[in-house]
Structure 1
Amino acid sequence: MSEQKKKIERLTGVKGMNDILPADAPLWEFFEATVRSLLKSYGYQNIRTPIVEHTQLFTRGIGEVTDIVEKEMYSFTDALNGEKLTLRPENTAAVVRASIEHNLLYDGPKRLWYVGPMFRHERPQRGRYRQFHQVGVEALGFAGPDADAEIIMMCQRLWDDLGLTGIRLEINSLGQADERAAHRRELIAYLEQHADRLDEDGKRRLHTNPLRVLDTKNPAMQELVDNAPRLLDFLGEASLAHFEGLQRLLRENNIPHKINPRLVRGLDYYNLTVFEWVTDQLGSQGTVAGGGRYDPLVEQLGGKPAPSCGWAMGVERILELLKDAQRVPEPDGCDIYVVHQGEPARIRAFIAAERLRDAGLDVILHCSADGGPASFKSQMKRADASGAAYAVIIGDDEVAADNATVKPLRGAQAGDADAAGASQQQSVAFDALAEHLIERMTA
């Protein structure tokens, strides 16, 4: 008795790390093309950094007592040389590292942008995943509130270009280090007086990162944080002038905004301006983009001091909004689907497809799924399903006559029929095929 063949286990993807399938691609491509065009109009240049960085980059740049470093990073030790490495949880620190390493600021300030996957231990939920994608900008070497205002208005222009509504702007100022230190002392003293009202997260952050207590989503703590000392009350003249300069520019450009004194960022490198774009359309996790100014970071990572600001937005979250707004583009069909039958026709069809591509047309050449011949009827079904504008049909008769049959699959011509019931199709000489199709498609 032969041994029963062992069933092979089917493998699946890691939860929270999702495949982007062909059906999803048009929406991603629409978003990425819109972003690319927008950022080019502002003079931003693309930068691409590795997915893996030294762990120290994030512990030093983001801060060791942040949620990202303490709980969310995917870190490991390289078995080859013992290096401590991390899948990037965000990209600002990496862009700054690259700018320092390659002396990008040697000849002046830089406007940079990036797009790509980031990685954090997350509880997967709508628009939030363990592998997620971000688009971000970094304006390196700019000190004034005009740079802050520009990157904020860039977001508003993006929402307009995407056709999205219901996204509102909240801003705050974190001041400078000495101002935050004075506020921190008062805040800790206040929270210690009400320690019995803090949840476990608040107690953990009380002495390590008390600003983050103000960002709690726990309804039971809202009154407590509403009555806490406000950082805005501790700002000096220069910080207030910077914040007012930002608001003036936003007002002059008709950008509605709300000052949220409880708005902080979860990363240590921020100072002065912080902002978030938020919506009520994604449940409790309503932030779709956030950023601000991080003047200390370049020096903190070993470079010459350079004031900087930037933002990042979660691509998956924006795509959810586009779906809700029914802004999903139709998939692009190809121009031509080449149908053939018989060995001489198959060879001629292959040549014809290449010549049509030489002419700049998008062409799908029918290939059999099982290696055997397929009927013209089944091939035409495939041609119609492909979204092609025209089918080019090559059989024995066409090979003998040195021509091809061109059949429209879309529009009025495809629906027209002559008295015999045949749709409007034409025989075209092989040498004239590309010119004929281009002329019909551009008519």
Structure 2
Amino acid sequence: MPSPFSFARLRARNTTAALLFLLRWLLICGIIGGMAGTASAGFLVALDWVTNWREAHPWALALLPVAGLLIGLAYHYFGTRVVRGNNLILDEIHRPSQRLPLRMVPLVLGGTLVTHLFGGSAGREGTAVQMSAALADQLTRWLGLRPRDRRLLLIAGMSAGFASVFGTPLAGAVFGLEVFLLGSIRYDAVLPSFLAAVLADWVTRAWGVGHTHYPTLGELPLTPALLGGTLLAGALFGLAARAFATLTHGIGKVFSRINYPPLRPVVGGVLVAGLLWLAGPVRFGGLGIPVIIEAFQHPLAPTDWAWKLVLTALTLGCGFKGGEVTPLFFIGAALGSALAVVLPLPVALLAAMGFVGVFAGAANTPLACTLMGLELFGSNAAIYLGLACVVAYLFSGHRGIYASQVVGQAKHLRLSRQQGRQLGELE
């Protein structure tokens, strides 16, 4: 029978190991947080400037095809390995091979700013995540980290980028844990993810860079009408997420038939510019934050979300740079707002549920999106926000915006044969 002394030594070893792990990753994540938070702060300031300039000069939309050519040439000659963006990061987490090139940072930053400067419909999360992950991965060589630690480093980098660009450290931490493996979470990365997300968000705020403020939802009772409306809305949000992912990847395949890659965003730029002139370049170009805010105030037109879905899928599918997440916020908030005409739910609640629900279905990250809803809209409607995210996640099926996401746990038994495969293989 083991003596009390052996138990004491075992407890001491466990405590020492936990303490060393904490101190080690506190140091590493302090560096990641500093780099990611600073990069996101600079990116957000620059993005605000180009957005304001574009809105003051609507004629710039005519130059979108030229902007597409510049982005296409830059990636064709200097960024053939990093052109896959977030999917490259996910591949390196699943099967580590080569360190992410540092040139990923200026390429995605410049490509995103040029896209927004001339009116492309894109987001910002992809840029922040790619910059943060690429910067974090440079520590692999500097600190001599092993492949196992490199996986944690990349996950922490993704969490830091997401948290700092949206000002949501809890959602950012869980996003990094949840995004690369559909239906599963890697718990050995919990501490690095949370540390990196919190510190990166703090650094961004320390630079004096703020984030968009959304309405706080009031307290709502749990009633059959509200519950039923939430479940129905969640299903519609999931279907919208699936449509966005399917259309974006489908457009990408169509444009891949153009043999010379730099011409793809040129052709796409002509189409996007033409559609934006019809739909409204200020309303549907760029991030669309004003329209998202408007969605909480009154029901929007039932076509607003569809315009943004098509324009963003075309912008990203043809080769322009940026993220998908803020446009997904737009699509979800606009769809939810429009549903207020037919569903017995408050317009602000529907907009908030759509905001996080469509993203949850498209990225397959229901837990991160639920936390984002709490961080952005308060905890009064937590039940409804969580249900919308979970139902949207279920109804989006094994589709998503990240083709390199691997099915870790199928969403239901009929899809169980797809476990272990990447979403890109299932299209």
Larger strand percent? 1
Q: What TM-score do the two structures reach when normalised by structure 2?
A: 0.22
Larger Rg: 1
Q: What TM-score do the two structures reach when normalised by structure 1?
A: 0.22
Q: Which has the higher contact order (CA 8 A, sep 6+)?
A: 2
